[in-house]
A and B are shown apart, each in its own frame.
Chain A
Amino acid sequence: MVNVAYLMLLLPLAGFLFLVAFGRRIGDPVAGWVGTVAVGGAFVVACIVLAGLIHLPGDHRVVVHNYFTWFSSGGLSVPVGTLVDPLSMTMCMFVTGVSALIHLYSIGYMKGDRDYSKFFIYLNLFVFSMLLLVLGDNLLLTFVGWEGVGVCSYWLVAFWFQRESAASAGKKAFIYNRIGDAGFLLAIFLIFEKTGTLQYESGPGGGIFGQPVHLGGGTATAAVLLLFLAATGKSAQIPLFNWLPDAMEGPTPVSALIHAATMVTAGVYLLCRMNPLLHLTTPGMEVIASIGAVTAFVAATIACAQQDIKKVLAFSTVSQIGYMVLAVGTGAYIAAIFLMVMHAFFKGLLFLGAGSVIHGLEDEQDLKRMGALRRYMKWTTVTFTIGFLAIAGIPPLSGFWAKGDVLDNVFAHYKVLWVIGLVTAVLTAYYMSRLEVLAFGGEPRFDKPGPRGEPALHAPHESPWVMRLPLVVLAFFAFFGGVLDLPWVHTHNLESWLTPVFSGTLYNDNLSATSEWALALTDITAALIGVIVAVWLWRGSEVDKPALEPAFLQRVWYWDDFYDTIIGRPSQRLATFFAWVVDVRVIDGAVNGSAHLAKATGTAARKLQTGYARNYALGIAIGMALIIAFMLSRTWWG
């Protein structure tokens, strides 16, 4: 059953090709259903493969299947093959599952859009690329998927490209990702140079992981840091995190699927996949952990001051991925994956809930213009609240277990980073409660004109069932997802399932039961502090509180301005210099100069052409005289 894994790739690809050919003709809503069925089919296949993999004995759960050779050149041979192991199947399950739900949701959300079928073309191609990234059995195939999701992200962020802001947000996303991709490529070159192969587990010399000998010293550190650069681009970590909030210009299902649940976790997946390499470099791990912790904290502070409902969720995503990266840097890969899966559930849910709100409020995204939505959108309110409690870390919802798992490991390994993580947990609970209170609590504000003279909005309406169903399913998992990996269960859970993948490289926190209880209580206290403070501060009807939203946080720690000053403006000045000085003076000067030279030569030379036959005859005579003189001189003196 495991060897049907290729069907998982082919179904979304077939959906993509079919929609490219016939999408416009079958239109709304059939195109959406075709896309949903293709991805739903992939989910079914993923379940079958998963069942097959579970039936294999624990140490045989690595199935590599090579279908054909993509190309071979010199010592490099790249097969197209799938690597099915617990890690890739865990990813596949939630990628296809969440994707299918969000496809279903999009049928309702994108209704009436001008480019309805194009949206599903991109979504199907995205799912295919993401699965290729996850299932590919060598670095190059992963890179192809990596680029595929990147370009789909670009297309989907800039989906409403008629809007200037959407078009430039797409470009921003693409360029930030390209910076990371450069690191990925360099890492591929370095690893091939040292090991002579790009396959993970199989192939010559036992693949990359089979030859740690060749990766000693600085090599592993360099390769890991380059891969981490790629991860910071894709997973929106410092220093390349600014693109993700702007990516919210895309349709909300895209924000939920690509910019919260799946694509942005690709960086974390890549680092987990390369765990034997990470194990070889302590400095690399320390860099990863520090960046993760700092990103989690910085993004959480920014989320506290955003007004746009999707921007809050975007910075929250950056912050949560920071937690995952922190876990990876600690060596707690399973905690990272656990949080990744739970995050896919609750952040997907939160984004879809936000989409439902935006859909019901005539595309209004400003939190300050919402309020009291609980009276109008019951389904959305209940499901969104479950997502909010989950991410805030309130037990027994999924986020509590996942975040607790990460923080326990960090506590045992890096105490300082644990403090940052804990402060971030307080902030997380704070900004999510603020969002919940502003949107769903208090009194309605949408029925009054906006602060910049926008007209009052109609009372919101609840979304259709295709949008509510995904909310309910995701809310279920966001609520109960924690049972996948409860701390006191040690068999038949995510930990025992994933341990073979990370055997020998996994960090073991070895905490006593007392410490674990104490840490769990600390987490709960942190979450409650955040919630209580937020509710106390934002409960009133007055929502303009500049003291709580300093410009420093609203302007994202002036991070964009910083890049603008050190890179953007100098580049622009350089470009202006080249356009108006180098191009006009040097290049145009050279071109026009040679033209002027030719013209001047011609003007001078035309005077020779007098039109008088006798002048030409004189020329001939003089020439002949010279020749004769020359020959005579040769005879006399030669």
Chain B
Amino acid sequence: MSLSGAWYLGLAAIVFTIGAIGLMVRRNVLIMFMCIELMLNAANLTFVTFARMLHDIGGQAVVFFVLVVAAAEVVVGLGIVVTNFRRRATTVADDLDSLKG
């Protein structure tokens, strides 16, 4: 048997919500990064699901773009995190508030 598309979409929504809430409640920068990845992959899952449901390969193609962009983003983001850790010896996001108005 195969599950209907709604299950996949529901899973994607749950994963996205976990990511979003995690991003808001956690203080560690690396964990926040992982949460972002969760949200991205939730989005990917949605794309793939819709591609299957609508028989449109375009949705699957977009996923590859998202993967590539996410990889690049991780490179840059981790670079910033490492540099920041060297300068300030912290990975707690709330300590990085020098842009406070």
B25 within 8 A of A: yes
How far, in whole Å, are A168 and B100 apart by their CA atoms in the complex? 62
Within 8 A of A (CB), among B52-71: none
B98 within 8 A of A: yes
A597 within 8 A of B: no
Q: Nearest Cβ distance between residue A247 and chain B, in whole angstroms? A: 68
B32 within 8 A of A: yes
Q: Are A608 and B23 in contact (CB under 8 A)?
A: no
**Beta-carbon nearest neighbor of A606 in chain B:** B101
Q: How many A-B residue pairs have CB under 8 A?
A: 34
Set of chain A residues within 8 Å of B94, measured between Cβ atoms: 612, 614
How far, in whole Å, are A613 and B93 apart by their CA atoms in the complex? 7
Within 8 A of B (CB), among A582-630: 605-614, 617-618, 621
B20 within 8 A of A: yes
**Beta-carbon nearest neighbor of A625 in chain B:** B20
Q: A606-B101, A607-B101, A608-B101 are in contact. Are A613 and B32 (CB under 8 A)?
A: yes
Within 8 A of A (CB), among B3-44: 20, 23-25, 27, 32
Q: Are B101 and A617 in contact (CB under 8 A)?
A: no
Q: Are B100 and A610 in contact (CB under 8 A)?
A: yes
Q: Are B101 and A609 in contact (CB under 8 A)?
A: yes
Set of chain A residues within 8 Å of B96, measured between Cβ atoms: 611, 613
Set of chain B residues within 8 Å of A605, measured between Cβ atoms: 101
Set of chain A residues within 8 Å of B27, measured between Cβ atoms: 614
Q: Are B97 and A612 in contact (CB under 8 A)?
A: yes
Q: Which of B96, B98, B100 has the most CB of A within 10 A?
A: B100
Q: Are A611 and B24 in contact (CB under 8 A)?
A: no
**Beta-carbon nearest neighbor of B20 in chain A:** A621
Set of chain B residues within 8 Å of A609, measured between Cβ atoms: 99-101
**Beta-carbon nearest neighbor of A603 in chain B:** B101
Q: Nearest Cβ distance between residue B6 and chain A, in whole angstroms? A: 16
Q: Are B20 and A610 in contact (CB under 8 A)?
A: no
The answer, among A611, A618, A621, for a CB contact under 8 Å with B98, is A611
Within 8 A of A (CB), among B75-97: 93-94, 96-97
How far, in whole Å, are A609 and B101 apart by their CA atoms in the complex? 5
How far, in whole Å, are A606 and B94 apart by their CA atoms in the complex? 18
Q: Which of A605, A607, A608, A617 has the most CB of B within 10 A?
A: A617
Q: Nearest Cβ distance between residue A558 and chain B, in whole angstroms? A: 69
Contact count band on B: 10 to 19
How far, in whole Å, are A613 and B20 apart by their CA atoms in the complex? 12
Q: Are B99 and A611 in contact (CB under 8 A)?
A: yes
Q: Are A621 and B24 in contact (CB under 8 A)?
A: yes
Q: Nearest Cβ distance between residue A629 and chain B, in whole angstroms? A: 15
**Beta-carbon nearest neighbor of A618 in chain B:** B24
Q: Are A614 and B23 in contact (CB under 8 A)?
A: yes
Q: Are A614 and B20 in contact (CB under 8 A)?
A: no
How far, in whole Å, are A613 and B32 apart by their CA atoms in the complex? 10
Set of chain B residues within 8 Å of A614, measured between Cβ atoms: 23-25, 27, 93-94
Set of chain A residues within 8 Å of B98, measured between Cβ atoms: 611
Set of chain A residues within 8 Å of B23, measured between Cβ atoms: 614, 617
Q: Nearest Cβ distance between residue B80 and chain A, in whole angstroms? A: 12
Set of chain B residues within 8 Å of A611, measured between Cβ atoms: 96-101
How far, in whole Å, are A317 and B64 apart by their CA atoms in the complex? 105
Q: Are A617 and B100 in contact (CB under 8 A)?
A: no
Q: A617-B20, A618-B24, A621-B24 are in contact. Are A612 and B101 (CB under 8 A)?
A: no
Q: Nearest Cβ distance between residue B101 and chain A, in whole angstroms? A: 3
Set of chain A residues within 8 Å of B32, measured between Cβ atoms: 613
Q: Nearest Cβ distance between residue B38 and chain A, in whole angstroms? A: 13
**Beta-carbon nearest neighbor of B17 in chain A:** A621
Set of chain B residues within 8 Å of A613, measured between Cβ atoms: 32, 93, 96
How far, in whole Å, are A621 and B19 apart by their CA atoms in the complex? 11
How far, in whole Å, are A613 and B92 apart by their CA atoms in the complex? 11
How far, in whole Å, are A611 and B92 apart by their CA atoms in the complex? 13
How far, in whole Å, are A166 and B39 apart by their CA atoms in the complex? 88
How far, in whole Å, are A612 and B93 apart by their CA atoms in the complex? 7
Q: Nearest Cβ distance between residue A606 and chain B, in whole angstroms? A: 3
How far, in whole Å, are A607 and B23 apart by their CA atoms in the complex? 22
How far, in whole Å, are A612 and B100 apart by their CA atoms in the complex? 8
Set of chain A residues within 8 Å of B20, measured between Cβ atoms: 617, 621
How far, in whole Å, are A613 and B27 apart by their CA atoms in the complex? 9
**Beta-carbon nearest neighbor of A615 in chain B:** B24
Q: Nearest Cβ distance between residue B39 and chain A, in whole angstroms? A: 10
The answer, among A607, A608, A610, A618, for a CB contact under 8 Å with B97, is A610
**Beta-carbon nearest neighbor of B97 in chain A:** A611
Q: Nearest Cβ distance between residue B61 and chain A, in whole angstroms? A: 25
Q: Nearest Cβ distance between residue B85 and chain A, in whole angstroms? A: 16
Set of chain B residues within 8 Å of A617, measured between Cβ atoms: 20, 23-24
Q: Nearest Cβ distance between residue A612 and chain B, in whole angstroms? A: 6
Q: Nearest Cβ distance between residue A487 and chain B, in whole angstroms? A: 99
How far, in whole Å, are A609 and B97 apart by their CA atoms in the complex? 10
Set of chain B residues within 8 Å of A606, measured between Cβ atoms: 101
How far, in whole Å, are A609 and B94 apart by their CA atoms in the complex? 13
How far, in whole Å, are A630 and B75 apart by their CA atoms in the complex? 36
How far, in whole Å, are A475 and B96 apart by their CA atoms in the complex? 101
**Beta-carbon nearest neighbor of B93 in chain A:** A613
How far, in whole Å, are A611 and B101 apart by their CA atoms in the complex? 7
Q: Which of A607, A608, A609, A613 has the most CB of B within 10 A?
A: A613
How far, in whole Å, are A614 and B98 apart by their CA atoms in the complex? 14
**Beta-carbon nearest neighbor of A608 in chain B:** B101
**Beta-carbon nearest neighbor of B35 in chain A:** A617
Q: 10 A-B residue contacts at CB 8 Å?
A: A605-B101, A606-B101, A607-B101, A609-B99, A610-B101, A611-B100, A612-B94, A614-B25, A618-B24, A621-B24
Seed contacts A612-B94, A621-B24; 4 additional CB < 8 Å A-B pairs: A607-B101, A609-B99, A612-B97, A613-B93
A-B complex: 5 closest residue pairs judged by Cβ atoms: A611-B97, A609-B101, A611-B100, A606-B101, A614-B24
Question: A interface vs B, CB < 8 Å?
Answer: 605-614, 617-618, 621
